[in-house]
């Protein structure tokens, strides 16, 4: 199949793109890398009268160190994120997640803004944003605002973005000190969507006690989920006292429900998710302990 007919718009500034969306209304849709939208259009699962291409928009691409955080423009491709030395040094979890996204052709065209805005439950970047307490920047005719990642993902393929807002950038804070990071996921084939995955970030104090951590499971529900109760129980404990297996079980126990589908039952997916958390915890804790 082929997409339904549409008008094609190519603005060159963020302000022009937002103004176009406001003018055209709900029959318009932004397109960046197109790695999620184009297949939906081709299969007629979605149709829009207007597509607003963001690839020529100035100010939507780039990576900047801003104090103790790193800003990444929404139009920056996965490949650019994965290759950036500043990302590898300052936000290593993001760099480690990037090679797990689809295949290299997808990473060459897909953008970080598109991945965050698409809010796929099995997406790596939304999980990393949650674990690291990232901030999402958005612009509309009413002005700009910042949305914490914890408030951004609201459901399956849905976010807190208003209908007239454009995601313009993502800000990831650095985790200084004795920190460790890991991402683990299980998929049938390399490049497939994860049946279950986990992201872990942990920081230790001078006495090797946990003073900050982020544990997120993804691919097990309509959104990635942060295991806040498990995190709270771990704070202040000596890292050597924490059992990875129990951490995995505790994190997945926080999930209210897990869907069953042709890829596996809810019970199977919960067990796999617990194993992914345990593996990620071991790696992250070991890295933090070695600093």
Q: State residue 256's pLDDT score.
A: 87
Distance from C-alpha of 1 to C-alpha of 233, rounded to nearest angstrom: 51
CA 169: distance to chain centroid? 13
Residue 288, Cβ density class (10 Å: 0-12 exposed, 13-18 middle, ≥19 buried): buried
pLDDT tens, residue by residue, 243-275 = 999 999 999 999 988 988 888 899 999 999 999
Q: State residue 264's pLDDT score.
A: 87
Contact 221, 255 (CB under 8 A): yes
Residues 110, 36 within the same domain: no
Higher-scoring residue by pLDDT: 288, 190: 288
- Any idea what the Cα angle at residue 59 is, between residues 8 and 21, rounded to 5°? 35
Strand partners, 204: 178, 210
Distance from C-alpha of 197 to C-alpha of 114, rounded to nearest angstrom: 20
Contact 46, 83 (CB under 8 A): no
**Which CA distances in Å does 245 have to 212, 251, 274, 281?**
19, 10, 7, 9
Strand partners, 183: 199
pLDDT tens, residue by residue, 27-41 = 999 999 998 898 888
pLDDT tens, residue by residue, 143-180 = 999 999 999 999 999 999 999 999 999 999 999 999 99
Q: State residue 101's pLDDT score.
A: 94
pTM for the model = 0.95
Residues 68, 156 within the same domain: yes
Split at pLDDT 50, 70, 90, the class of 1 is low
Distance from C-alpha of 269 to C-alpha of 95, rounded to nearest angstrom: 26
Least confident of 94-98, 131-135, 187-191, 195-199: 187-191
Please state the rounded mean pLDDT for residues 128-146: 97
Residues 82, 45 within the same domain: no
Q: What is the CATH number of the domain that holds 224?
A: 3.30.390.50
Into how many domains does the chain fold? 3
Percent of the chain predicted with pLDDT > 70: 100
Q: Does 141 map to a domain?
A: yes
Q: State residue 263's pLDDT score.
A: 83
Please state the rounded mean pLDDT for residues 231-248: 98
Is residue 191 predicted with pLDDT exceeding 90?
Answer: no
Q: Does 2 map to a domain?
A: no
Q: Does 209 map to a domain?
A: yes
Range of the domain at 41: 7-52
Token representation of residue 226:
């942060």
Token representation of residue 78:
């996965």
Is residue 203 predicted with pLDDT exceeding 90?
Answer: yes
Is residue 291 predicted with pLDDT exceeding 80?
Answer: no
Q: Does 33 map to a domain?
A: yes
Residue finishing a domain among 147, 173, 199: 173
């Amino acid at each position: 199949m082929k997409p339904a007919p549409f008008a094609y718009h190519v603005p060159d500034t963020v302000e022009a793109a937002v103004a176009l969306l406001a003018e055209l209304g709900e029959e318009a849709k932004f397109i960046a890398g197109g790695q999620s939208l184009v297949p939906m259009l081709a299969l007629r699962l979605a149709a829009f009268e207007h597509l607003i291409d963001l690839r020529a928009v100035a100010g939507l691409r780039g990576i900047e160190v801003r104090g103790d955080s790193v800003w990444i423009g929404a139009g920056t491709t996965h490949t650019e994120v994965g290759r950036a030395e500043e990302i590898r040094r300052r936000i290593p979890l993001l760099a480690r997640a990037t090679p797990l996204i689809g295949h290299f052709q997808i990473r060459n065209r897909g953008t970080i803004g598109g991945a965050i805005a698409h809010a796929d439950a099995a997406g790596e970047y939304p999980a990393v944003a949650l674990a690291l307490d990232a901030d999402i920047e958005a612009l509309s005719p009413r002005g700009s605002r910042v949305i914490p990642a914890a408030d951004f993902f609201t459901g399956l393929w849905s976010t807190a973005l208003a209908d007239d807002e454009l995601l313009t950038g993502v800000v990831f804070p650095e985790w200084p000190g004795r920190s460790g990071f890991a991402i683990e996921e299980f998929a049938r084939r390399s490049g497939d969507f994860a049946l279950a995955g986990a992201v872990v970030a942990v920081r230790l104090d001078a006495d090797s006690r946990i003073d900050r951590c982020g544990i997120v499971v993804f691919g097990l529900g309509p959104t990635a989920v942060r295991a806040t109760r498990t995190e709270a129980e771990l704070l202040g404990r000596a890292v050597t006292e924490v059992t990875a297996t129990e951490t995995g079980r505790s994190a997945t126990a926080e999930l209210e429900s897990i869907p069953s589908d042709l890829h596996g039952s809810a019970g199977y997916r919960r067990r796999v998710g617990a194993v992914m958390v345990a593996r990620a915890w071991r790696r992250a804790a070991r890295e933090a302990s070695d600093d």
